[in-house]
Amino acid sequence: MVRTIALLTALGLTTSAALAQAPVTAPFKGISGTVTVTPAPKGVLIHIEASGLTPGWHGAHIHEKGDCSDAAFKLAGGHVHSVTPIVHGLLNPAANDSGDLPNLYVAADGTAKAEYFTAAVTMQGLQDADGSALVVHAKPDDYTSQPIGGAGDRVGCAVIR
């Protein structure tokens, strides 16, 4: 352990910075599967493996609070954002919603695998005092409607801490 700390110090890293940069894997509630968030130099890589969903497209967003304890996942709050008012939509020229992600495609058997990169958030931001959550919605995101692109109910939720 002492050698590890010395190496990190020599490289200009602290143990807390090194730990903050480790990938985080979290189980979903409401559906089966996991989300893994890996820090990248200019954002994060999000890997999703899920099952128990209806086939077709589903909205996926990063929400501002790491709380999936209620049945409707409303305690996860709104989308991650840095300014208000929040304007949603990957296709909206006025958008400023950092939690927006492309839709998740679910195969006929109810399974989905996807990887997303986003430069709109950082690992440190996702792991702030109240954490964050990756939420999967019942319907696809149309990328323009307010406030969530018409994506409907929250059907899956994973806490990122």
Question: 104: Cβ–Cβ under 8 A, 6 or more apart, which residues?
Answer: 48, 50, 57, 58, 59, 60, 112, 114, 136
What number is the average pLDDT over the span 63-76?
Answer: 97
Residue 128's pLDDT band, with cuts at 50, 70 and 90, is very high
Return the percentage of the chain with pLDDT > 70, whole number: 88
Q: Is the pLDDT of residue 18 over 50?
A: no
Q: How confident is the model at residue 63 (pLDDT cuts 50, 70, 90)?
A: very high
pLDDT at position 81 is 87
Domain locations in the chain as residue ranges: 21-160
pLDDT of residue 9: 40
pTM of the model: 0.85
pLDDT of residue 39: 97
Instruction: Of 106, 88, 124, 98, give the one whose Cα is nearest residue 48.
Output: 106
Cα–Cα distance for residue pair 57/80, rounded to 1 Å: 21
- Residue 84: pLDDT band with limits 50, 70, 90: confident
Fold topology of 21-160: Immunoglobulin-like (2.60.40)
Looking at residue 65, what is its pLDDT? 97
| Residue whose structure tokens are 């020599």 | 10
Tokens of 14: 């602290």
- The secondary structure of residue 103, as a DSSP letter, is P
pLDDT at 88 over 70: yes
Neighbouring-strand partners of residue 26: 35
Residue 2 pLDDT greater than 80, yes or no: no
CA distance 39 to 20: 9
Within 10 Å of residue 116's Cβ, how many Cβ atoms? 17
Identify the band that residue 82 occupies on the pLDDT scale cut at 50, 70 and 90: confident
CB 43, CB 98: distance < 8 Å: no
pLDDT of residue 36: 98
